[in-house]
Amino acid sequence: MTTTSLTRSPGTQVRRTMDPADRGKWKRFWILIVVASVALVPIAGTFILSLRSNNGTGGVTLDNFIHVLADTEVVAWLLNSLQVTLATVVVSVLVAAPAGYVLSRGRSRLVEGYSLLLFVIQSLPVITSVIPLFILFSGMGLADNLIGITILYVASSMSVSTWMMASYMDGIPDSLEEAAWIDGASVFGSFWHIVMKNSLPGILSTAIFTFLMAWNDYLVASIFLRSSGTFTLPIGVQTFFQQHSTDWGSVMAVAVIMMLPPAIVFAALNKYFSVGGVAGSLAGR
């Protein structure tokens, strides 16, 4: 597209430096170090406070963690959160993968309409649906209940997980399925055996997203979960913070415990995670 001109226009001088590319590299590196240091102050502070002893010596200790794990309900909340989050991840993938497949391969007005519907639903304030659902779920005994909250999380992550699956499946050639159809496989069979087998990175990306969403949600849980036996971590942690607002050591220990699972998941699966696909699938195919 551009022709490289070998004749320099007059007036531009060749500046000779040590190695400009190398110098720029380190400059960018230091800018990023400074930005990251400032941005991570709140998170670093959380870790430091959680490890500081309360006896005034300022030494490093695990006492805060031992205290919150042994003497509070944190472990129960952690188990509730893990159950809800893992169930949400599994059900979301099982629902979003086939729907994403239809969006990826379908070419009808109905499919286009469903894309629009997903986008619109994604953009509505959760609070509008939450109040009627609370009344509905109360009648069914699902309000103060982990199954109820799992259903809500699957619903609220549905749009994005479907887009993520669709955009990943766009990259899988149709020819594989067509070959299977010729061999007599059903649409479902080819989807399950061929497309799903080849979609592992897309599935992982969707799983990370739904994990973060379900693990971090505060709004829905704060309305639906009413007894401390059903609290997930965000709600438990919030009540704990209100009761122990002066005991920063314990508060931050709980905060670190809550931070670890998403951080571990993210660190382990980071390379599979991409949000670029969301933009791609919105832009249409």
Q: At closest approach, how far in Å is the CB of 119 from other proteins?
A: 5
Q: At closest approach, how far in Å is the CB of 271 from other proteins?
A: 9
Q: At closest approach, how far in Å is the CB of 276 from other proteins?
A: 3
18 part of the interface to other proteins, by CB under 8 A: no
- Residues 143-182 touching other proteins, rule: CB under 8 A, are 151-152, 154-156, 158, 162
With tokens 């999380």, the residue in question is: 153
DSSP states of 15-67: PP-S-HHHHHHHHHHHHHHHHHHHHTHHHHHHHHHHHB-TTSS--B-SHHHHH
Indicate which single residue of 172, 233, 250, 253 sits in contact with other proteins (rule: CB under 8 A).
233
* First-residue to last-residue Cα distance in the chain: 26
With tokens 């430091």, the residue in question is: 48
269 part of the interface to other proteins, by CB under 8 A: no
Q: At closest approach, how far in Å is the CB of 193 from other proteins?
A: 14
- Of 43-51, 56-64, 67-75, 177-185, the window that binds other proteins (rule: CB under 8 A) is 43-51
Which DSSP category does 192 fall into? I
User: What angle do helix axes 41-51 and 63-71 make, rounded to 10 degrees?
Assistant: 80
Comparison of 35 and 66: residue with beta carbon closer to other proteins = 35
Phi, psi values for residue 60, rounded to 5°: -90, 130
Interface mask (CB under 8 A) for other proteins, residues 90-129, using x and -? Answer: ----xxx-xx-xx--xx-----x-xxxxxxxxxxxxxxxx
- Residues 45-64 touching other proteins, rule: CB under 8 A, are 45-46, 49
Evaluate the CA torsion angle 146, 152, 189, 168 in order and state its sign. Answer: negative
Q: At closest approach, how far in Å is the CB of 161 from other proteins?
A: 10
